[in-house]
Amino acid sequence: MKRFYVALTLSLIPLIFIAFLYTRKEKVKIPEGYSLVIELVQEGFQVKLYTKGGSLRVGRNHFYLEVSPLAEVRNLYLYMPPMPGMGEMREDAHIKRVGNLYEGHVNISMAGSWQLVLKVNEEVLKKEIIIPTHGVEGQKSPEAGIRVDTQRLQLVGIQVQEVKREELMESFQGVGYVSYDLSRAYEVSVRSDGWVLDTFGRFEGELIGKGTPLMKLLSPDIKIAEAELKLVREMGRNELEKAVLGKLSYLQAGEVVSSPLGGVIIEKKVFPGGFLRAGETAYRIVDISRVWVVGEVPIEKAGSLSRGMRVLISPLGGSESIVGRVSYVFPEANREARSLKVRIEIQNPRGKLLVNQPVDLHFERPLGSVLAVPESAVVDTGRRTVVFVELEPGLYAPRMVRLGRRVEGYYEILEGLKEGDRVVVKGTFLLDSEAQLKGLYGEEARTHGHHH
């Protein structure tokens, strides 16, 4: 039996070898009528995609895929990132292995900028492509967007600029008014009951200096303590004298009460002939060497406000602007005015700023280094925003982008471009018109107006 199996194995070896040679010689060829559309070399692989007619277009597309060196293509799909007003899109291809090639089909639902994504073995390969509304026969690449000859290029003055990171400063306006710094308010009171003999003409709103007399008092408690002091001194009772002196010190003995600080009298509660009880507030005085500016900013800028933010303050009627910092953002919005309140603390030397004086506010916030393009590079197609990327001199293709903030004549780019891309910054009107005629925007070109 053992000899039988050995003989059988030896007899099968030539057949296995012949079959191996046959399979090695069998190489599937790209069928007639299929032309190269996309070629990319990444991660050590060369991938070629062939379609009938030499173009990818909106609708069903049949294709062949050639991978060198031969490897497993695990999936292939087209991806369009989310845009304002539109979610992300993905079109998966159905593929199968046919000898040394892959055959498949993919249904493309709309024209525009797509990203072709392949997973070969464990590597992910990507390429940006443009799908026009109607495929062009003999087109070598779906990125063949809008070609402008050299003479016309000079005539229309198309200019391109490299996409790079910019140090941008976000700025916006607000209004406000000068207010007292209530943390610098001081209440004047006394420690013993007394009759108010005089207030020296003091009034609310008066600007006074430190040591200015505020009122003259007649206090029975102080008069009694002074009589006690005289008596114990006559008796030579030193220990009692110390006790009475301590009592007078506590009562802050003296007929005239002076201001402990310079500032504005914002409240006066005493008048000549009146009676003031111990602990009651006689005056409220606020130091105005430092003031608050209370500002109002549009509620849309709530996300940009933060403590420590730099603000340029321009008082109405004033000749100089002052730099301040946001010290507090109030947690409540004004529903009717659709605004948010902030507080700014600033020095007020020589009282130049007047309380309740209106001011204009200019807020500034550094955004740091962000990827950005000039405003002139961006085209609003009606449903999405695009820029025109220079594929090669004289060849331009629309690229969908997702925008961030618009500041200092630039748009922040969140998605769609990378550093080093070259975009058109002058002459976009011509390219936009050509893109509409060629249907590069898809159905929206016929149903939406364009805004620049």
Residues 176 and 294 in one domain: yes
Instruction: Tell me if 118 is assigned to some domain.
Output: yes
Q: Which of 20-34, 106-120, 147-161, 406-420 has the lowest mean pLDDT?
A: 20-34
- Which two three-digit tokens encode residue 304? 């940009």
pLDDT for position 59: 82
Residue 5 is assigned to a structural domain of this protein: no
Residues 339 and 303 both lie in one domain: yes
3-class secondary structure, 280? coil
- Residue 129 falls within a domain, yes or no? yes
CA 77 distance to own-chain centroid: 32
Angle at 280 between CA 277 and CA 283, to 5 degrees: 120
The position carrying tokens 């009562």 is 251
Residue-level pLDDT at 434: 78
Question: In whole angstroms, how far apart are CA 314 and each of 110, 219, 234, 246, 398?
Answer: 52, 49, 67, 53, 44
8 A C-beta contact, residue 103 and residue 61: no
User: Do 299 and 243 fall into the same domain?
Assistant: no
Residues 358 and 374 occupy one common structural domain: no
Average pLDDT, the chain: 80
Q: Burial, 268: exposed, middle or buried (Cβ in 10 Å; 0-12, 13-18, 19+)?
A: buried
Other Cβ atoms within 10 Å of 3 Cβ, number: 7
Q: Tell me: do 421 and 331 sit in the same domain.
A: no
Give the pLDDT of residue 53.
77
How is the beta sheet containing 194-198 ordered, strand by strand? 256-258, 213-218, 194-198, 275-276
Percent of the chain beyond pLDDT 70? Answer: 77
Q: What is the pLDDT of residue 196?
A: 85
CATH number of the structural domain spanning residue 334: 2.40.30.170
b/e sequence 106-130, b meaning 16+ C-beta within 10 Å: bebeebbbbebbbebeeeebebbbb
pTM here?
A: 0.51
Residue span of the structural domain in which 230 resides: 187-286
Q: Predicted confidence band at 137 (pLDDT cuts at 50, 70, 90)?
A: very low
Residues 357 and 430 in one domain: no
* Nearby residues of 48 by Cβ (< 8 Å), 6 or more positions away: 36, 38, 39, 65, 66
Please tell me whether residues 40 and 131 are part of one structural domain.
yes
How far is it between the farthest Cα atoms of the chain?
A: 146
Assess if residue 17 is contained within a domain.
no
Q: Is 6 part of a structural domain of the chain? A: no
CATH of the domain at 210: 2.40.50.100
ω into 69 cis (within 30 of 0): yes
Q: Are residues 194 and 279 in the same domain?
A: yes
Closest CA to 401 of 163, 90, 172, 119: 163
d(CA 199, CA 204): 12
Whether 203 shows a pLDDT value over 70: the answer reads: yes
The pLDDT of residue 244: 55
pLDDT digits (tens, 9 = 90+) for 418-428: 888 999 998 88
Give the tens place of pLDDT for each residue, 292-327. 999 999 998 888 888 888 999 999 877 788 899 999
Region of 291 (left: φ > 0; alpha: ψ -120 to 50; beta: rest) is beta
Quick one: how many helices (H) and strands (E) in the chain? 6, 30
Same domain, 137 and 41: yes
What are the two backbone dihedrals, phi and then psi, of residue 293, each rounded to the nearest 5 degrees?
-115, 120
Give the separation between CA 386 and CA 433, rounded to whole angstroms.
13
Clarify whether residues 390 and 359 are in a common domain: no
**What number is the average pLDDT over the span 380-405?**
83
Residue 223 CB contacts under 8 Å (≥ 6 apart), including other chains: none
Q: CA 301, CA 16: separation in Å to the nearest integer? A: 76
Residue 14 lies in a domain: no
Assess if residue 16 is contained within a domain: no
Please identify, among 325, 342, 367, the residue that sits at the C-terminal boundary of a domain.
Answer: 367
Alpha helices, DSSP H, located in 131-237 = 150-156, 220-235
| 449 pLDDT tier (thresholds 50, 70, 90) | very low
Listed residues 286, 307, 340: the one ending a domain: 286
45 and 137 both lie in a single domain: yes
E strand spans, 290-384? 290-298, 310-315, 322-334, 339-347, 358-374, 379-380
How many Å apart are CA 48 and CA 65, to the nearest integer?
A: 6
Q: Is the Cα dihedral 302, 308, 310, 313 positive or negative?
A: positive
Q: Which of 271, 286, 301 is the last residue of a domain?
A: 286
Per-residue pLDDT tens for 335-387? 888 999 999 999 987 788 889 999 999 998 888 888 999 999 998 876 678 89
d(CA 126, CA 357): 60
- Name the residue among 140, 163, 138 with its Cα closest to residue 399: 163
Show the tokens assigned to 54.
């030499």
416: helix, coil or strand?
coil
Name the domain count of the chain.
4
Q: Is the dihedral of CA 190, 196, 202, 208 positive or negative?
A: negative
Q: CA-CA distances (angstroms) from residue 374 to 100, 169, 426?
A: 48, 14, 10
Residues 435 and 385 grouped into a single domain: yes
Residue 373 lies in a domain: yes
Nearest Cα to 216, choosing from 188, 249, 258, 251?
258
